[in-house]
Every structure is written in structure tokens, then in C-alpha cells.
């Protein structure tokens, strides 16, 4: 059996091709050690289609919610990517690394044995709210068309500009002593609610820097993206357990859209107009983006206000 078949969600090369999955969303519980691209590649096999994408990269060491779109749902992912997110994480104070997480090389160790929970409060508060954050140099941000991590691996010194993010909640749950190569460290369990574009490992780095001992992330689990949570998530092994003659089940487009967007319920005439790319009259104060759902429960379009009308940005149910 190939190495690929032995990984979570794998199957023997001789297994029959599963029927193509319907257009919709899968909430995958990403395993540790996998890139988000690895998960997309596996879902392509499980869903029997190449039209698969994800909303919001998770680092290989991280686990948890990865929202994957199949078929027309890939056009919905842009609205998922910008949603706020929840994480559970462990920060190790006393050790700084090249990547601000456990996968990097150690840059420095400092005795953190003197720190107690009360020492963290002021610095945690300073990392909460609307802040300017310098992303980790080893990140997927593009610099002159190339990913920052690729430039770092090529030996370049990469300095990324600070950018505004919002940390709605940074809560310390537990503090316990640890050790790194004989040097006293401190492990801090936290929960984070933050905007899209926030790097939790950069929060770990900045907390350690503020305390004068360095810090990095040793564990990260994403528990929510917008309205998608771990309660809906399935592992790749669970998805692969679907019988070979049955298509993998997905969240339908309308249900997925409701998880991340406000909804406009349409009349039949409005649904028809949007299916032809025409505008409809606004109702209420929602300028968009808004999920426009027909009387039959089908996602017709995502609409936004343009001028005095709501006009489709993406049409999911075009007129036939």
C-alpha cells in the first residue's frame, strides 16, 4: 500500500471511484502534521472532483476547523475567509524560536521560573482589542509575489509590516511550570477570539517579548470559523469511512451561506431576477454581502448594495 493510502482518509489505489459529491461545504477537523493543501488534495479524492478549495490556512502543527468548499461552494469561500475565529492554544514562555512556534529552531532560552499568573495580566490586556501586529516572518503572506516563508527558507531576511487586527478575547486558562533543555519555562493555556489575519503564534511571540523572556506556540487548535465549529467537523478518516458507492455528504450551499452571512429571503420574482443577474429592491439596512435564498431554500446569489439596488456579486443558481 502506498504512503498516501496509509495517511488519514487514504484508500487503496484499487478502490472504486466514489460518486462526485454535491456542491457544498465540508468542515474538516484537520490533523496535526498536514498542510491545508494536503487536506484539499485528500478531499479532492474523497469528493471525486478537483474543484475543491479551503478558507483560511492552518499551519501544519495546528489542528481543528478547516472549512473546505466543493464545486460551486468554492465561490462562497471568499466570504468565509474574512470571518472571525476561535482558537485554543498553549504558549511556552522562556523560549523564542525562528518560526514563533514549536516547529522552528530555538533562538534563545531565558529563565521564566520567576513568572506567575499575575505577571501576565497587563501584557495580555495590551494584546487585546484593536492592535497592530507584525506577522511571523515564516508566514504565507506574499512579499513581491513570493510567500514570506519561501523567502526565509531561501536565506533572505524578511521583515513584514505591522497590520491592524482585532483580538476580541485573549483569556488565560491555566499556567504551569515547564522546562526547556534544563531552563525553567512556563506553559500558558489560552483561548483566543480574533479577526481574520491574526497570527496566534505572533501573539505568543509578543507576549514573551513583553515579559522579557521570549515565547512561542507549542499547540494550536482552531475551534470555530464564523458559524462553523468543531461540532460540525469530521476527520478525514470519518469522511473516508463513507461507503465507496456513496457520495460524501456536505453542508448544502444555503446552509453554509447562513453560517457566515446575513440572509435575505426572496420571493419567486426576486429569485428569478437575481438568476438573470438583475438587481432587486433592498429591504432593511443590510448593504451586503447578503445571502439571497429563494422560496425553495436554494441559495440563489450573494448580493451587495450598488446604488439603490441589491445586485448579485456571485450567482449560484443562474437561469437555465
DSSP string, the chain: --HHHHSTT---TTSPPPPPPPSEEEEEEEPTT--HHHHHHHHHHHHT-S-EEEES---TT-EEEEEEEEGGGGGTHHHHHTS-EEEEEEEEETEEETTSBTTSPEEEE---TT--HHHHHHHHHHTSEEEEE---SSSS-EETTEEHHHHHHTT----PPPEEEEEEEEEEEEEEEEEETTEEEEEEEEEEEE-TT--HHHHHHHHHHHHTS-EEEEEEEEEEETTEEGGG-B-HHHHHTS-TTSPPP-EEHHHHHHTTS-EEEPPHHHHHHHHTT--B---TT--S-EEEE-TTS-EEEEEEEETTEEEEEEESS---
Nearest to 194 by CA among 89, 110, 293: 89
Is 59 part of the annotated catalytic residue set? yes
Residues in the chain: 320
Pick the catalytic residue from 23, 59, 101, 206.
Answer: 59
Active site residues: 59
Amino acid at each position: 500500500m502506498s504512503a498516501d493510502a496509509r495517511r488519514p482518509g487514504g484508500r487503496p489505489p484499487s478502490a472504486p471511484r466514489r460518486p462526485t459529491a454535491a456542491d457544498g461545504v465540508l468542515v474538516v477537523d484537520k490533523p496535526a502534521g498536514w498542510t491545508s493543501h494536503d487536506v484539499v488534495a485528500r478531499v479532492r479524492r474523497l469528493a471525486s472532483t478537483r474543484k475543491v478549495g479551503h478558507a483560511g490556512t492552518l499551519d501544519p502543527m495546528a489542528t481543528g476547523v478547516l472549512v473546505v468548499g466543493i464545486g460551486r461552494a468554492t465561490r462562497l469561500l471568499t466570504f468565509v475567509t474574512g470571518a472571525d475565529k476561535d482558537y485554543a492554544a498553549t504558549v511556552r514562555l522562556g523560549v523564542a524560536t525562528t518560526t514563533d512556534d514549536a516547529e522552528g529552531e530555538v533562538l534563545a532560552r531565558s529563565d521564566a521560573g520567576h513568572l506567575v499568573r499575575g505577571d501576565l495580566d497587563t501584557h495580555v490586556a495590551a494584546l487585546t482589542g484593536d492592535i497592530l501586529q507584525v506577522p511571523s516572518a515564516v508566514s504565507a503572506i506574499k512579499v513581491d509575489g513570493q510567500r514570506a516563508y519561501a523567502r526565509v527558507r531561501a536565506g533572505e531576511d524578511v521583515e513584514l509590516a505591522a497590520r491592524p487586527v482585532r483580538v476580541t478575547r485573549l483569556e488565560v486558562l491555566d499556567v504551569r511550570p515547564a522546562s526547556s533543555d534544563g531552563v525553567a519555562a512556563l506553559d500558558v493555556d489560552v483561548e483566543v477570539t480574533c479577526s481574520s489575519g491574526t497570527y496566534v503564534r505572533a501573539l505568543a511571540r509578543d507576549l514573551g517579548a513583553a515579559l522579557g523572556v521570549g515565547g512561542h506556540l507549542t499547540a494550536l487548535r482552531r475551534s470555530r470559523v464564523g458559524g462553523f465549529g468543531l461540532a460540525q467537523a469530521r476527520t478525514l478518516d470519518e469522511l473516508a469511512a463513507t461507503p465507496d458507492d456513496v457520495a460524501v455528504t456536505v453542508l448544502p450551499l444555503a446552509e453554509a451561506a447562513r453560517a457566515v452571512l446575513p440572509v435575505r429571503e426572496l420571493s419567486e420574482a426576486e429569485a428569478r431576477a437575481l438568476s438573470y443577474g438583475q438587481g432587486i429592491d433592498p429591504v432593511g439596512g443590510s448593504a451586503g454581502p447578503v445571502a439571497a435564498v429563494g422560496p425553495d431554500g436554494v441559495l440563489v446569489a450573494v448580493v451587495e448594495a450598488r446604488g439603490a439596488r441589491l445586485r448579485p456579486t456571485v450567482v449560484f443558481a443562474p437561469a437555465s
